[in-house]
């Protein structure tokens, strides 16, 4: 097999890089031009497209992206706003407590717990949205149960998400040199989490999840 053949490694890995980059840019455009409001539906589409085109290689990434984006739009929107609200509130209160501007240091573990659990829930919620037709409350409930049942994998996947959140916060605080992350970072993180969460875990629950 020659390296530049249609079935060769150059074509294979080049297609992966292209899919990751373009899916990430589609997610970025939808998120930025909606001021973050469509980040939930866009992330659902990103997970669907990434699994179809890159992880399993058995589907059409952009077709799956927009298919799940449209089909799960309202639920994804609610989940996105739900997780965004609690992440912002918990981080804001952690900052205020840490800088002695609010409350007692003794309630710091409470807000840390909220942040960690919401991070865990969001780690599973969007893959579930990408591969199931569960309603809002069922998404939240099953995300919580799965996250705590598969804790080691959850911690690993959540670390990737936490890195993304920290980088995005730093960008908003003025670290513009990190903005290049926005063009490929979420794509890579979604690729990794699709492999960990969707391929390793969600495929075990095919009685209510359809991994395409």
Q: Give the pLDDT confidence of 82-136 residue by residue, as tens digits.
A: 999 998 898 888 888 888 887 677 888 888 999 999 999 999 999 999 999 999 9
Lowest mean pLDDT segment, chosen from 5-9, 14-18, 24-28, 171-175: 5-9
Q: Give the pLDDT confidence of 41-98 residue by residue, as tens digits.
A: 999 999 999 999 888 888 889 999 999 999 999 999 999 999 999 988 988 888 888 8
Indicate whether 8 pLDDT > 60.
no
Q: Give the CA distances from residue 20 to residues 36, 90, 201, 211, in Å, rounded to whole numbers and listed in that order.
A: 20, 31, 22, 19
Q: Give the pLDDT confidence of 149-204 residue by residue, as tens digits.
A: 999 999 999 999 888 888 888 888 888 788 888 888 899 999 999 999 999 999 88
**Dist. CA 113–CA 108, nearest whole Å:** 9
pLDDT of 5 reads 54
**Dist. CA 55–CA 69, nearest whole Å:** 19
């Amino acid at each position: 097999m020659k390296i530049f053949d249609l079935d060769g490694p150059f074509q294979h890995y080049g297609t992966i890089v292209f899919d990751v980059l373009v899916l990430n840019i589609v997610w970025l455009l939808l998120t930025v031009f909606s001021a973050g409001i469509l980040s939930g539906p866009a992330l659902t589409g990103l997970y669907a497209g990434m699994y179809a085109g890159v992880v399993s290689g058995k589907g059409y990434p952009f077709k799956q992206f927009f298919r799940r984006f449209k089909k799960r739009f309202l639920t994804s929107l609610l989940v996105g706003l739900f997780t965004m609200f609690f992440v912002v509130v918990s981080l804001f209160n952690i900052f205020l407590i840490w800088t002695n501007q609010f409350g007692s240091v003794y309630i710091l573990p409470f807000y840390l717990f909220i942040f960690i659990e919401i991070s865990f829930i969001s780690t599973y919620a969007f893959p579930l949205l990408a591969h199931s037709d569960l309603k809002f409350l069922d998404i939240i409930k099953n995300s919580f149960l799965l996250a705590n049942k598969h804790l080691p994998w959850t911690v690993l996947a959540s670390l990737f998400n936490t890195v993304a959140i920290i980088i995005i916060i730093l960008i908003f605080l003025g670290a513009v040199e990190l903005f290049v992350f926005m063009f490929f970072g979420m794509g890579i993180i979604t690729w990794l989490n699709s492999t960990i969460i969707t391929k390793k875990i969600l495929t075990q629950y095919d009685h209510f999840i359809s991994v395409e």
